[in-house]
Structure 1
Amino acid sequence: MNEWLTYGSLFASSFLSATLLPGSSEVLLVALLIAEKSSVVGLIGIAALGNTLGGLTNIVIGRLLPQKQQGRWHATAMTWLHRLGPAALLFSWLPVIGDLLCVIAGWLRFSWFPVVLYLAIGKTLRYIVVATATLQGMEWWH
C-alpha cells in the first residue's frame, strides 16, 4: 500500500467515524501502526485531522437545526453544556455521545475558535493514547 493510499484511507475512516455514520478509525490506525506503513506522527496527525473535520461537520449540522425548545431533558442538557461551554468538546471522541456533543455545540452556536480548539485537542489526544498503547503493546510482545 503506498503512502498516499495509507493516509487517504485513514483520513476517510477517521472523518466518517466522527460523523453520525458508524466507523472505527482506531482499528485502522492500530493496523497501520502494527504494519509500520508510515510515521507514527503522520498517522496520528491525519487521523486527528480527519476526525476533527468530521466533528466540525456535525457542528455545522447542529447550526442548521432550528432553535426550538424541548422538554425537561433539554433544559438539563443545555444547562450542563452552557456551564462547560466549548470545553465539553474535549469529550467529543466518545462514541455516540461525542457526535451529540458536536451537534449540540453547533445548535447552541458556540464560538468557532474555542470549538475547533477543544474539538481538535480531544480528538488528537484520543489518537495519541491509542497509538501509545499500541506501540507499547508491540514492544511488550517482542
Structure 2
Amino acid sequence: MIDLAAYAGLFSAAFIAATIFPMQSEAILVGLILTDRYPLAALLLTASVGNTLGAGVNWLLGRGVERFRDSRWFPVTQEKLDKAQAWYRKYGKWSLLLSWIPIGGDAVTVAAGVLKEPLPTFLLLVFIGKAFRYIVLAAITLGVTG
C-alpha cells in the first residue's frame, strides 16, 4: 500500500520551499530516503514537481509584480529583483537552471515572470535544475549511508 501522506508531505514541503515561505524540503527528502520504504524515483519526482510548481507561484508573482511589489509578503526586495533581472537579461532563460540556489534562486524565478518568460519553457528549465539538485542530494545521502 502506498503511503500517500508521506508523498503529500514531501510535495507540500517542496512546493512551499519554492515560494515566499521558509521551508526546507531537503531534510524531509533525506528522511524519507533513509527510511528505505519508498521508491527513490517516486520521491525525487514528487519533490521536483512540488518545487517546480512552487516556483511557478513566483513566476505568477513576477507577472503581477506591479500589483504586489510593495506588499510586505512579497518574496523579493527591489534590490534583489533588480539584480535578478540583470542576471536574467544577461544569461536569459538558462539562468533558470540555477533556480534552486538558496540565494537568488527565488528572485530569478520572479524575474522570469517579470520578463515574461513563456510558462512552458520556465517550467521545463526550472524542473531540470530542481530535479538535478534533488538527485545530487539523494546521491550524497545514499553515498554517506552506503
Give me the TM-score of the superposition, normalised by structure 1: 0.87
Between the aligned partners of 1:78 and 1:45, the Cα distance in structure 2 is: 29
Contact 1:88/1:101 (<8 A) preserved: yes
Listed as ranges, the gaps of 5+ residues in structure 2 are: 70-77
SS in 2 for 1:66: helix
Q: Which amino acid aligns with 1:109?
A: K
Residue number in structure 2 paired with 1:17: 17
Aligned partner of 1:109 in structure 2 is: 116
Q: How far apart in 2 are the matches of 1:112 and 1:11?
A: 20
Superposed CA RMSD: 2.2
How many residue pairs were aligned? Answer: 136
Of all paired residues, the percent bearing the same amino acid is 36
SS in structure 1 of the partner of residue 66 of structure 2: coil
1: distance between equivalents of 2:87 and 2:21?
26
For residues 60-99 of structure 1, the aligned pairs below 5 Å read: 60-66=60-66, 74=82, 77-99=84-106
The answer to whether the Cα contact below 8 Å between 1:13 and 1:23 also exists between their aligned partners in 2 is yes
Cα distance in 1 for residues equivalent to 2:142 and 2:125? 26
Q: Shift of the alpha carbon at 1:21?
A: 0.7
Question: Residue type matched to 1:126 in 2?
Answer: R
Contact 2:87 2:95 in 1 (8 A): no
Contact 1:59 1:103 in 2 (8 A): yes
Rounded to whole Å, the distance in 1 between the matches of 2:123 and 2:109 is 10
Instruction: Please identify, of 89-98 and 118-127, the stretch whose mean Cα deviation from structure 2 is larger.
Output: 89-98
Q: TM-score, normalised by structure 2?
A: 0.85
After superposing the two structures, state which structure 1 stretch, 79-88 or 29-38, moved more.
Answer: 79-88
1:82 and 1:37, CA in 2 relative to 1: closer, same or farther beyond 3 A?
A: same
> CA 1:78–1:136 in 2, change beyond 3 Å: closer, same or farther?
same
Greater mean deviation of Cα atoms: 19-28 or 107-116: 107-116
Offset, 1:77:
4.8
**Counterpart of 1:127 in structure 2: which amino acid?**
Y
Report SS of the residue matched to 1:37.
coil
The structure that has the greater radius of gyration is 1
**Counterpart secondary structure, 2:85:** helix
